Amino acid sequence: MDGSSNTQSNRSQSKPWARALTIGKTFVRYRLHELLPDNLPLTWRMLLAPLKLLPAHPASQGQRLCSACEELGPVFVKFGQMLSTRRDLLPLQLADDLRVLQDQVTPFPSDQAQALIERALGGPVSDFFSEFDAKPLASASVAQVHPARLLSGEAVVIKIIRPDIEPSIRSDIAVMYALARQVQGLSDELKRLHPVAVVADYERTIMDELNLEHEAANTVQLRHNFAESELLYVPQIHPELCRPNLMVMERIGGIPIGNIAELHTQKINLPLLAERGVETFFTQVFEHNFFHADMHPGNIFVDASNPDNPSYIAIDCAIIGSLTEKDQDYLARNLLAFFNRDYAAVARLHLDSGWIPADTDAAAFEAVIRRVCDPIFAKPLSEISFGEFLVELFQTAAEFKMEVQPQLVLLQKTLLYIEGLGRQLYPQLDLWETGKPFIERWMEQRLSPATAMNKLIAAAPQIAEQLPILPEVLASAPARLNRFEHRLAEQQTQLNALQSQQRSSTTKFARIGGITLVVLGSVLLLRATGLNSDSPMAWAGVISTGLGAMFLARFL
């Protein structure tokens, strides 16, 4: 039975706090605290300590995490999908257990799928298809796919959105917003992560995924971008049969990218395939500025018709990323600086872009970057993890209050997918050396005189329009800047006074309440030790202790 679809109607009207409670209960039911590292901060160990009193769960850790993700719905299934690609970071068995989330989520009933298809098209399936297989070909977190054949004889697949899925997604997003707002107010360190902006970006992404007409348009564009390329093939869309909840496209053949054994059997040129994966990524990001941002193994196949010259096949173009021209430029310059180990340039670029405060000591930041980066270069991919490198670099740069860039979140996720695929195909692939020539060529073209002249010509009308008022603007700029700085200083003084008053009035009550809740929860859990772990007393103990520990973690 599909836990992610059967609970949709029950959750359609749920409030964020109720959904948060459901998530917490699922976390406890599947004993997911066992997946967390032992060296957590003291406050987190206090929060999780009562869970050790509960009886063990019979299933493996991977099976429990997979079941929990599927039960909680598409937002969590997608999280599990990403984890399944990180075999370098997870135990192999755990990663294998999570692979079923890529395209083997429990399907919803076939008769329900057929009814949805007929309702969307306005008639029986026989009016549009000569063949229709009620058994789904694949089932994922947001939709499932059925094979069919057009009246013309062409083999296609029909993708249909899961019924009543939007309310559950909106409920999860509301919980994420509530948590993000709470986290953002805890400290300056957490505020710089821009958690609310990250959630907003994710909301735009996943809501777009619910509209298959958007996915169809993305697929058409991606197919057009690679029409003359041997790197990537994108299936043909049949727009006359597409609806907001339904899409019909060409059925493709190919070997799933995760089936490494079959790729070896077919004698695929894996080094070339791995290098082409990196080239495909950089082509999408820098040349097209339109990149497939959901490249988990369930969406990528290999055309094995010519084993010596293999290419990729991409499906599921619902999540597409793009960057502003400024972000493209800074990203390319940073990558080149990393490739060349020019850490002074990296520090300067971060300052120029505003990713770190303007008063940062550039020499100290350069030294930190050097300390993190030097050990990882000139190593094969099998010996380093780009994901781990990003985490370590980010944690180190946090000392300098480096700001998270929400617009780069999709790009970072895609890079992690690329690394995961590269590890499976050809562990010796050097991601840096493969990407460096591409970035160098792109920057050379971007900085060419012809490109600069074209930009100047394009901006000429706007420049001419502003020229008459330029002297007046320059003359009044110092006075306006002084007034702005004075108002800003006054507002900051008032804000500091209000924050100090609020902290002093709430800390005392929060400490008392936290201690009371922890004591009450511990007593309830001890009394419930011999009872079923789902008993009301056990849940009351878990909730009370958790709330108390959260208060103490916040205000001690």
The residues annotated with a catalytic role in the active site are 294
Residue 376 gets which letter from DSSP? Answer: G
Q: What are phi and psi of 406, to 5 degrees?
A: -55, -30
302 DSSP β-pair partners: 255, 312
* 301 membership: H or E segment, kind and range: strand 300-303
232 DSSP β-pair partners: 312
Cβ partners under 8 Å of residue 397, min gap 6? 350, 356, 365, 368, 369
CA-CA distance, 442 to 339, in Å (whole number)?
A: 14
Is residue 425 packed enough to be buried (19+ CB in 10 Å), middle (13-18) or exposed (0-12)? buried
Residue type at 222?
Answer: L
CA-CA distance, 529 to 126, in Å (whole number)?
A: 59
Residue of 403, 336, 347 whose CA lies nearest to 372 = 347
Residue type at 540?
Answer: A
CA atoms within 13 A on the CB side of 462: 5
**What tokens does 178 get?**
């509530």
Residue of 318, 302, 246 whose CA lies nearest to 269 = 302
DSSP string, 133-164: -SS-SEE-SSEEEEEEEETTS-EEEEEEEPTT
In three state form, how does the secondary structure of 474-523 look? HHHHHHHHHHHHHHHHHHHHHHHHHHHHHHHHHHHHHHHHHHHHHHHHHH
The residue assigned the tokens 């409920």 is 171
Asked if residue 337 lies in contact with residue 373, where contact means CB atoms within 8 angstroms, the answer is no
